[in-house]
């Protein structure tokens, strides 16, 4: 890849793309405002390529819709790239000056003819060629993806394939031109930036890299561990194996959000000690030994960093209820009990400390972002921030092509479990629903869980809209209401994971991408049966 996991462009640049390639992102529902910017671009003449197994709303605005079979993205992208090479739509100058490994990578595409692409993905060769021409000839194209790309056992390969596509056409490092993973949560970028990942300190500084640990030990005045930690999914497994004894969960709800709910619950039950710090008594909190009441976004000061690396001010508007405390105060208090002083006067001191340890934030302070945010990297106080990344160079010098081959998903439909289940969000609810399911009007428009089934499948299963079906995978069973819909392809079903009473993650597979450790939430095999009693 070519650097850190963030959007290379900024949100206002979206409207100036001439081609937008959305793959594995139901943007208008998961990132509605970015969706609006895409529609604006289309209104201004841009053409939209949508690659999604479901007929998402953006398809209405697209010039071409590639309905690939779930989990076949690598084959789709490789065959698009095959056409781009064949038609000589590559950017030779960019490849020569800024990349390496093109020659061997080019070889790897040979097998992925449009015909082969069609065979694997189900997308017609004409559409593959059309998409290749659209993207290959674009002047200011942007690629957008989310979990539809990453939540696969071959998610890293998917991302590599996207990177290859952008690199071979030189579509990086310019205004309104780039690769943009859309982050799903308000501050997932900030949490990652700040080092809440096991292998990096803040600013993507590797825990194992010589010199880095020493820098942090010096700054924090304490000896630090040199072993990389476990990822969340690995922690769950380690808990089940008895290797992790205690977990401290701040503001997360893995029971609903993680794959294979039964597995997660067993793991959490097995812990000696579980602390859950949250604003609501979540499903995870039910398994805790201690529950700590936290303040929500409106009750504290600080910053959120959006998916486009923009650091923006969060301001306290109201007091937290009861004895609830800001998370920062809780951590500082707890540290005191361990004899470590982490106190600060104002919360901006914490941000400043982070800026001292990561130059990309050094130029940002609360005064500068009082009205509008700034995008990192912003190394100095007179730096205007960086709307788009990789202008002129990549952080590692040259970017490398990584040849990737199509590999099927971990679990494919078979005789016993004939349907392919994909999970995700919809417009009205958010993530595990701990917030939105407590908002009355939202519950009124979106009260209950459903499974989207293609009309022909519904006919075969002899179910109608509103009927109940039993959905089972190798991991569990739920019963859920049917929504007959033209959105999924035949043989593919979709369940939003917001609903605890029919939790999609009872069914999902814990198989991980070996590199990113992201579970394969977008594809698992299920069986669907009609339930005789219809829901009241």
Neighbours of 1 (CB within 10 A): 17
Helix (H) or strand (E) holding 310: strand 310-314
Which residues are CB-contacts of 536 (< 8 A; sequence separation ≥ 6)? none
Nearer to another protein, 1 or 331 (CB): 331
3-state secondary structure of 234: helix
**Total binding residues toward another protein, as defined by CB under 8 A:** 177
| CB contact at 8 A, 14 and 20 | yes
Establish how many alpha carbons lie within 13 A of residue 144's alpha carbon, considering only the half-sphere containing its beta carbon. Answer: 32
Query: Per CB under 8 A, does 517 bind another protein?
Result: yes
Q: Which of residues 150-179 bind another protein (CB under 8 A)?
A: 150-151
Query: Per CB under 8 A, does 316 bind another protein?
Result: yes
The nearest distance, CB 81 to another protein, in angstroms, is 26
Nearer to another protein, 88 or 532 (CB): 532
The nearest distance, CB 468 to another protein, in angstroms, is 6
| CB contact at 8 A, 489 and 456 | no
Nearer to another protein, 77 or 271 (CB): 271
Query: Per CB under 8 A, does 74 bind another protein?
Result: no
Site string for another protein, 357-396 (x = CB under 8 A): ---------------xx-----------------------
What values do phi and psi take at 469, rounded to 5?
-130, 155
Torsion sign over Cα 6, 376, 2, 85: positive
Nearer to another protein, 106 or 183 (CB): 183
Give which of 294, 273, 292, 276 is closest to 284, Cα–Cα: 276
The nearest distance, CB 315 to another protein, in angstroms, is 5
Q: Using CB under 8 A, which of 41, 502, 526, 528 touches another protein?
A: 502
Query: Per CB under 8 A, does 114 bind another protein?
Result: no
Nearer to another protein, 109 or 374 (CB): 374
The nearest distance, CB 86 to another protein, in angstroms, is 29
Site string for another protein, 2-21 (x = CB under 8 A): ---------xx---------
Helix (H) or strand (E) holding 86: helix 73-86
Helix (H) or strand (E) holding 141: strand 141-145
Helix (H) or strand (E) holding 189: helix 188-193
The nearest distance, CB 313 to another protein, in angstroms, is 7
Binding region for another protein (CB under 8 A) out of 81-89, 157-165, 282-290, 409-417:
282-290
Q: Using CB under 8 A, which of 52, 91, 283, 410 touches another protein?
A: 283
Q: Using CB under 8 A, which of 305, 409, 422, 509 touches another protein?
A: 305
Q: Which of residues 394-433 bind another protein (CB under 8 A)?
A: 427-428, 430
Nearer to another protein, 250 or 403 (CB): 250
Query: Per CB under 8 A, does 93 bind another protein?
Result: no
Which residues are CB-contacts of 81 (< 8 A; sequence separation ≥ 6)? 109, 112, 132, 161, 164, 165, 168
Give which of 256, 185, 187, 155 is closest to 496, Cα–Cα: 256
Site string for another protein, 184-223 (x = CB under 8 A): xxxxxxxxxxxxxxxx-xx----x--------x---x-xx
Q: How far is residue 119 CA from its own chain's centroid?
A: 28
Report the C-alpha dihedral over residues 325, 331, 334, 336, rounded to 10 degrees.
-110
Nearer to another protein, 268 or 420 (CB): 268
The nearest distance, CB 326 to another protein, in angstroms, is 8
Q: Distance between CA atoms of 154 and 402, rounded to whole angstroms?
A: 14
Q: Distance between CA atoms of 494 and 152, rounded to whole angstroms?
A: 15
Binding region for another protein (CB under 8 A) out of 75-83, 122-130, 163-171, 333-341:
333-341
Nearer to another protein, 136 or 190 (CB): 190
Strands 310-314 and 374-375: antiparallel
The nearest distance, CB 343 to another protein, in angstroms, is 10
The nearest distance, CB 249 to another protein, in angstroms, is 4
Conformational region of residue 104, where left means phi above 0, alpha means psi within -120 to 50, and beta covers everything else: alpha
Q: Using CB under 8 A, which of 33, 96, 393, 515 touches another protein?
A: 33
Q: Distance between CA atoms of 240 and 491, rounded to whole angstroms?
A: 34
Nearer to another protein, 111 or 246 (CB): 246
Q: Using CB under 8 A, which of 73, 116, 118, 258 touches another protein?
A: 258
Q: Which of residues 218-257 bind another protein (CB under 8 A)?
A: 220, 222-225, 227-233, 235, 238-239, 243-252, 254-257
Q: Which of residues 427-486 bind another protein (CB under 8 A)?
A: 427-428, 430, 434-436, 438-442, 444-445, 447-449, 468, 470, 472, 476-481
Q: Distance between CA atoms of 153 and 167, rounded to whole angstroms?
A: 23
The nearest distance, CB 433 to another protein, in angstroms, is 10
| CB contact at 8 A, 279 and 344 | no
Q: How far is CA 152 from CA 28, 65, 149, 489, 524, in A?
A: 22, 21, 7, 19, 10
- State the Cα angle at 496 between 433 and 30, rounded to 5°: 75
Which residues are CB-contacts of 332 (< 8 A; sequence separation ≥ 6)? 342, 343, 344
Nearer to another protein, 42 or 489 (CB): 42
Nearer to another protein, 321 or 395 (CB): 321
Query: Per CB under 8 A, does 321 bind another protein?
Result: yes
Q: Distance between CA atoms of 493 and 504, rounded to whole angstroms?
A: 11
3-state secondary structure of 459: helix
Binding region for another protein (CB under 8 A) out of 77-85, 86-94, 120-128, 276-284:
276-284
């Amino acid at each position: 890849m070519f650097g850190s996991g963030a959007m290379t462009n900024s949100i206002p640049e979206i409207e100036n793309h001439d081609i937008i390639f959305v793959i594995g992102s139901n943007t208008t529902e998961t990132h509605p405002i970015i969706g609006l910017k895409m529609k604006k671009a289309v209104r201004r003449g841009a053409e939209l390529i949508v690659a999604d197994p479901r007929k998402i709303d953006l398809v209405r605005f697209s010039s071409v819709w590639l309905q690939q079979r779930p989990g076949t993205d690598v084959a789709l992208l490789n065959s698009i790239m095959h056409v781009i090479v064949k038609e000589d739509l590559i950017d030779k100058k960019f490849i020569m000056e800024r990349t390496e490994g093109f020659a061997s990578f080019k070889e790897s595409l040979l097998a992925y003819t449009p015909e082969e692409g069609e065979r694997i993905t189900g997308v017609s060769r004409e559409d593959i060629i059309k998409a290749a021409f659209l993207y290959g000839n674009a002047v200011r194209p942007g690629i957008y993806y989310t979990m539809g790309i990453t939540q696969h056992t071959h998610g890293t390969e998917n991302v590599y394939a996207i990177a290859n596509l952008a690199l071979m056409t030189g579509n990086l490092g310019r205004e309104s031109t780039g690769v943009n993973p859309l982050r799903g949560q308000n501050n997932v970028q900030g949490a990652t930036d700040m080092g809440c990942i096991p292998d990096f300190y803040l600013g993507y500084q590797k825990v194992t890299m010589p010199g880095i640990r020493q820098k942090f030990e010096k700054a924090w005045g304490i000896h630090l561990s040199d072993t990389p930690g476990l990822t969340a999914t690995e922690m769950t497994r380690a808990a089940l194996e008895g290797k992790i004894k205690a977990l401290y969960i701040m503001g997360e709800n893995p029971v609903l959000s993680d794959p294979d709910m039964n597995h997660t619950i067993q793991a959490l039950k097995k812990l000696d000690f579980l602390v859950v710090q949250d604003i609501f008594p979540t499903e995870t909190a039910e398994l805790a030994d201690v529950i700590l009441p936290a303040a929500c976004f409106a009750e504290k000061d600080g910053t959120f960093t959006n998916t486009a690396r923009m650091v923006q001010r969060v301001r306290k508007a109201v007091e937290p209820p009861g004895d609830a405390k800001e998370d920062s105060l809780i951590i500082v208090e707890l540290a005191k009990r361990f004899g470590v002083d982490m106190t600060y006067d104002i919360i901006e001191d914490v941000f400043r400390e982070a800026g001292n340890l990561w130059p990309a934030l050094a130029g940002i302070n609360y005064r500068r972002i009082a009205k509008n945010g700034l995008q990192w990297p912003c190394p100095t106080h007179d730096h205007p921030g960086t709307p788009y990344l990789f202008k002129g160079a990549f952080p590692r010098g040259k970017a490398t092509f990584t040849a990737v081959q199509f590999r099927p998903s971990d679990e494919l439909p078979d005789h016993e479990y004939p349907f392919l289940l994909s999970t995700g969000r919809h417009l009205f609810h958010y993530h595990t629903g701990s917030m939105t399911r407590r908002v009355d009007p939202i519950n009124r428009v979106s009260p209950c869980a459903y499974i989207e089934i293609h009309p022909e499948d519904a006919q075969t299963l002899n179910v109608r809209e509103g009927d109940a079906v039993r959905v089972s995978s190798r991991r569990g069973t739920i019963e859920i209401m049917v929504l007959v819909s033209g959105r999924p392809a035949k043989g593919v079903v979709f369940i939003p994971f917001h609903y605890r009473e029919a939790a999609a993650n009872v069914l999902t597979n814990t198989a991980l991408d070996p590199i990113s450790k992201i579970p394969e939430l977008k594809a698992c095999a299920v069986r669907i049966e009609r339930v005789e009693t219809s829901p009241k």
